[in-house]
Structure formats: C-alpha cells, structure tokens
Amino acid sequence: MHTCREERSLRSRLVLMRLFSNAVVRSFDPAAPDTTSAVAPDSILVNGEKIVAVGTRAELLDIAATESSTAAALASAGGIGATTVIPGLEIEEIDCAGQVILPGLVDAHMHSVHYADSLTDLDLSNVRSLAEAVEAIRERASQMPFGEWVVGSGWDLNKWDDPRYPDRQLLDQAVPDHPVAMWSVDLHTLWTNAHGLEIAGIDDLTADPFGGEFVRDDEGWLTGLVREDATDLVARYIPEPTREEQVERLDRTQKLFLSQGLTGIHDFDSIASTLGWYDLREADQQHIRVTKYLRGPEVPWAIETGWHTGDGDDWLHRGGLKLFSDGALGSHTSHMSSPFPDPNAHDDAHDSERDVEAEQDAEAVETTDRERDDASGDLGVSAEASEQEYYTYPGSLPEEALSTEAVDANYGIAQMSEDDLFDNARLATEAGISVAIHAIGDQANHHVLNVFERLRETTKDAEERFERPLRHRVEHAQFIQPDDVARFAELDVIASMQPRHCISDLHLLHLIDESAQLAAYAWPDLLSAGAHVAFGSDGPVEPANPFAAIYAAMTRANISGDTTTSFQPRRRLSATEAIRQHTFGPAYAAGLDDRRGYLAPGMDADFIVVDTDPCTAEGLTELTTLDHDGLLGYESEEALFAHAEAIRDTTVALTVVGGQVKYQA
C-alpha cells in the first residue's frame, strides 16, 4: 500500500508536460527586459512542478519535441482552461484565451486560523454604531444554545456614528446568559461582558499583565475592554474548534485565497494552524503553499524538536518567530514618540452620567438611529452639549486635546522592552530561527531596529553555522522616524507591509502628530533606500484580495476610488512594483527567491491567469516604479485611477500551483 506521499511522488512521475498558451505572459523575470513591455511571450511550458521555458507557443513546442519521439500539431483548445493532449509529445495544452499570466501572488502576512474563523464567527465590520453592534450580538446569541460563547470580530469604534469605547454594561443587559468575546478589527482589543470576565477569573482587583491592560473607568471598575497581551487571559477560555473542524475551515479558506490569485501565504497563527496545514498536507489536500511562523510560547517546543527556518518541504515551509513590540493604531496602542490625543479630554459630563447613558443606550438597541437622537433629547442632552462632550472620528480634534499633554498621556503600549525583545530574538536566532517583530508605531520601529542592530553578529554566526540565510523582518512598519528609513537597508531588515492598512487608516491619521514628520506607509522610501519590502494583507484585519492591495499601493485613496482621499500621493507605488512586493518580496523574505517570485526556467510553476494587464493601460505613457510626482507615468490622475480600479476589480480565471490548476473560475 502506498502512503499519500509515495502516491504523490508516483503521480508526479506520470504527469504530462503542460503548455499554457494563448496568453500575455508578464514574467517579472529581472533578467527579461520584456517583462513590462507591450511585446510579451505568449506561453509557459511546465514539466511537473517546474517551469521548463517561457516564450512563444512555437518555441515551446520545439523545446517539448526534443524530449519526445515525435511532434504533432494541435487544434484550437477552445475556451479558457480547455485542454487537449498533443499525441506523441505527451503535452496537455491549456488555452488561456488571450488573458494575462502573472507570477503567483503571495500574502506575506496572514492569520489563517483567524481568517478561517472570521468566515464563521459574527462579523461586526459593517455595523455603524454601538447600539447596532450590541443588537447584532444579541441576535446571534438568541440563535445559540444557552451559555455558549458568542464570538466575533471586526468592530471599529472609529467608524461608528457614536465613536466612543464600548463597555460591558450594554452586553450585560442584552446578553446576560452568554459569555461574549468580540475582537476589534485590528485584533488588538477584546470586548467582553461580565460573564466572560467571570469565566476567565478576572475581577476589578486583577492586575494588568505587562504589555496588556484591563481597561477600567475612573472609579476602577472593569469596562469589559481588554487590550494587547491581557486578551490572552480571556481568549484561552474560548472553546476552539476540533482539529477536524479546523481543517475543514482551513480548506474552505485556502479555496477562497486561490480564487483571489494567491498561490502562497506566510502564516502567523498559532500551533492550531500548524496542525491544520499538516493534516491537509498529509491528506494531499493542501493546494496553497504555506510558510509557517511561530508564536512566542511555541519556541521551547520548536528548539527542542529542531525547528529551523528554511526546513520543511515545498508546501509547508518553516519560517521564523513572531514577537510583538507594540499594539495597533486603531486601538491607540501603537508605541509612538508623540502621544495620542485624549479621546476623553472633554468627557467629564459623560463619566458623571454613566448610568443614565447606559440606560439610554440599552433602549437604543431596540430603536432606529433617529429614535436614539430623539431619546437623547428626552434626557435633556442638547445637540450642542453632545458636540462639546464628544468628538467624532474622522474629523478634527478639539484644540485643547492637541495643545495640552496630560500627566498620563497615551504613547501606546510597549508590549516588550527593547532588552526583552533582544533576549528573545537572540535565543531564537542562536537556534537557527529568524525573527519577525510586530512594530506599528515609530517608537516601536526604532526599538526594533536597535534590537536587530545588536543582533547582527549573532545572526551572522547562526547563518554560517546553519548554512542558510536568516532574514529578519519588521511586521507592518507603518510609521518610521526619518533617520530610521535607511537603517532598514543598512541592517538588511525586511519591511513586511500591508498596503490596505494605509487606506483603511485614512480616518485615523489625524491621530498622528504631523510635526514629527514620520515616514508613513513609506513603501517607496524604503525601496529607494535599498531595503527589501514584502506585501501582505494581515488578514482578516484586511481582506486577503491582493488586487485591492495593489490598488491601495497605487492610489493611497479609499477603496471606492475617491481621488480626493489620497494620502501623501508622492508615496504611491506603481502596479508593477506593487506586484513585485507580492511575488519576489515574500519569496526573498522566506529565503525562496532562487525558486519563486518570477516566471523563468527552473522556477516553481506558480502563476495565475487574469483578465487585467497591470503593465499596460490607456494613459500610461511610461512605466515608473519609484516616481515621487504621484502620477507613476500616467498622463493624468484620472488615467492612474482608471487603471488602479481595473486592477482592483481583476477577475482570476486560473490559479496554477506546482504546475497544476488548483482553481478555475
């Protein structure tokens, strides 16, 4: 009896060569000058999991004939994805119907288990008020057995009509018989109720852990908001899916990714995803390539079992260790050199009337937005008074909040000190494990770069000992002090970034001190300095669709295409450069740049067939990659946005991984 792995090896020896023809091939091969020109190859020849050649159909048939006894002509295959076997040559030809072939896109920062769970759990990303969120939670709880956890994610108070922090009082009234756990959109804050806190053994006297916080009101009572590392003390009580259920969720999720043009991901979730991908691999059901990163608690196990960055196989590759330096912008926990403005600067009246307001909001769960406005009037709170008590995101802040700094000003949360980060990074590096450190705020990025500078000799010694590169990374790198941009290149540290964060954070950017002159979402700055950049989504914080991320990099404007929202247009990135950061960038970060990241002979046969050409467009007069005039070679802003929106709306016809069609529309 053959094992699954033996059966796969047997099938690979029997597989036909495949010719993907009738296409416009954009190879992104740095050695091929026609990568972004109007004239391009039209076919790719694949043998097993490797690319044999890229060129014209006639050229590739000649190459194939040298490996077969006879040659034969092939009639039209007939439609996208249609196949015909060429007699004698033993070639299966796949007709790409004149569409465009691109290298397979890779998401360099993904949370696969969280993404899989987000497709099942309650989604609060579209609610527009606190009352609407509570009503959605109450409705979900009403459909569940008594006492079960109600779990969800996606809430973002910064986008609510009433942008103030939620608390547990409304949940306690609306959902008293279920513990509740609702993750914020950035996954850095957990909103729970009294039942959830009780199960976790947390009360008003529980001390905050280092790097985390149980948020309290002015009287010291728990509000139900839990931040950063403190979330672990609640989340560990939330029942997890069985291993079989998790595998089913991952399988459904990988099919979604394939349909969006992803041929690989760098997965930053916990051991649950490691086991899930392993089970799919052993069952011959893994169809997307995964580079797996460790979390802190897994390091002792990894060292004991001999986990080394670069080990694994072609489908489940071993990455490095993820550490956390700070939190997130939306949760006001990213570690900054300048303080966040105080959202409660004018909220004394609100604090003194907490009970009245809680009663009002509980009633609002059952009313419309207009009725809630009427209710506030009944309580004697005028519109003028409300404006004085709260400010609204997005929008300008009260002058007083910007001009004065409270004693307890919020600079975010440093989840680990610089010394602790270094100690953990050194331990991993000495064991042959590269390090990826989460850093969003400029002060966090500064500390992390200091860590990597201190780690240089240790890294060099480990690379020589283990005979492989250990490429360290900063995850997110959203805000960087000007003098630190060049340090990414000097220290050979990869900036792992997510273009969608830029446009999703447009309503938050007024929180950043402009006088600090920070490099914000500064992809071209880093590339110009010679640093390596890798793009991803941070899914499910952002949707996984990489074409929307390319749009974000090109426009730095909201996803709807509003040109007036473009943030710092001088930092736009061309489509071709954004694609490179989704192809070669992740390959380099994983140490796989000798076999993935572009289409050329000997490279892995990972590519996609799409309906939009990112390299040519009406109004594109010349291709530029790092063009600080904001037009990227387009003759007008309108032409740039027209092409960017076409790329955003790209349809994937075929996704090929390892030479096999893994998705077909």
Q: Using pLDDT thresholds of 50, 70 and 90, give the confidence band for residue 521.
A: very high
Taking the C-alpha atoms of residue 511 and residue 584, their distance in angstroms, rounded to an integer, is 34
Contact predicate 122/151, CB 8 Å: yes
* In the predicted structure, residue 654 carries a pLDDT above the cut 50: yes
SS3 content of the chain, % helix, strand, coil (to 5): 40, 20, 45
Q: Rounded distance, CA 535 to CA 537, Å? A: 7
Cβ atoms of 307 and 271 within 8 Å: the answer is no
pLDDT score recorded for residue 82: 55
The three-class DSSP label of residue 182 is strand
What contacts 152, CB < 8 A, 6 or more positions away? Answer: 121, 122, 123, 124, 136, 137, 140, 181, 182, 183
pLDDT of residue 212: 86
pLDDT band at 38 (very low <50, low <70, confident <90, very high): low
> Using the 8-state DSSP alphabet, how is residue 348 labeled?
H
User: How far, rounded to the nearest angstrom, does the alpha carbon of residue 166 sit from its chain's CA centroid?
Assistant: 25
Domain 11-103+598-613+652-664 and domain 110-236 have a common topology: no
Please give the average per-residue pLDDT across 218-224, as a whole number: 91
What's residue 89's pLDDT?
Answer: 59
**The pLDDT of residue 585:** 98
Q: Comparing C-alpha atoms, which of 459, 451, 437, 436 is closest to residue 291?
A: 436
Mean pLDDT of 253-263: 98
Does the N-terminal peptide bond of residue 546 adopt cis geometry, omega within 30 degrees of 0?
A: no
- For the cut 80, the answer to whether the pLDDT of residue 360 exceeds it is no
Cβ neighbour number for residue 222 with a 10 Å cutoff: 20
Percent of the chain scoring above 70 in pLDDT: 83
Average of pLDDT values for 626-652?
92
Numbers of helices and strands, H then E, in the chain: 24, 26
- Residue 144: what are its φ and ψ, rounded to 5°? -115, 155
- Structure token pair of residue 575: 């489509």
Show me where the domains of the chain are located. 11-103+598-613+652-664, 110-236, 295-335+414-596+615-649
> According to the CATH classification, is domain 110-236 in 3.55.30.10?
no
pLDDT digits (tens, 9 = 90+) for 192-204: 999 999 999 999 9
Choose from 34-38, 331-335, 559-563 the range with maximum mean pLDDT. 559-563
Q: What is the pLDDT of residue 370?
A: 37
C-alpha to C-alpha distance for 523 and 534, rounded to whole angstroms: 10
Token pair for residue 212?
Answer: 């985390």
Burial class of 547 by CB neighbour count within 10 A (0 to 12, 13 to 18, 19+): buried
User: In whole angstroms, what is the distance from residue 82 CA to residue 100 CA?
Assistant: 16
Most trustworthy range by pLDDT among 34-48, 50-64, 111-125, 468-482: 468-482
79 — pLDDT class (breaks 50, 70, 90): low
Residue 628: what pLDDT? Answer: 64
pLDDT (average), residues 418-422: 95
d(CA 447, CA 405): 23
Which of 654, 498, 655 shows the shortest CA–CA distance to 97? 654
Share of the chain above pLDDT 90, in %: 66
CB atoms inside a 10 Å sphere around CB 338: 18
The yes/no answer on whether domain 11-103+598-613+652-664 falls in CATH 3.40.50.1360 is no
Q: Is residue 386 pLDDT above 60, yes or no?
A: no
Q: Tokens 């109007």 label which residue?
A: 38
Q: What is the pLDDT of residue 625?
A: 66
Q: What pLDDT does residue 161 have?
A: 85
Listed residue (255, 263, 250) closest to 586, CA to CA: 263
Q: What is the pLDDT of residues 587-614, one digit of tens each?
A: 999 999 999 999 999 999 999 999 999 9
Burial 148-182 (b: 16+ CB within 10 A, else e): ebbbbbbbbbbbbebbbbbbbbbbbbbbeebbbbb
253 CB-near residues (< 8 Å, 6+ apart): 112, 115, 116, 119
| pLDDT-derived band at 273, boundaries 50, 70, 90 | confident
User: 12 burial class (0-12, 13-18, 19+ CB within 10 angstroms)?
Assistant: middle
Of the two residues 474 and 88, the one the predictor is more confident about is 474
Residue type, 241: P
In the structure, what pLDDT confidence band is assigned to residue 16 with cuts at 50, 70 and 90?
A: confident
The domain 295-335+414-596+615-649 having CATH identifier 3.20.20.140: the answer here is yes
Distance CA 159, CA 125 (A): 9
The angle formed by the CA atoms of residues 330, 255 and 94, to the nearest 5 degrees, is 130
Is the predicted pLDDT of residue 2 greater than 50, yes or no? no
Which pLDDT band, with edges at 50, 70 and 90, does 32 fall under? Answer: confident
The yes-or-no verdict on residue 66 having pLDDT over 80 is no
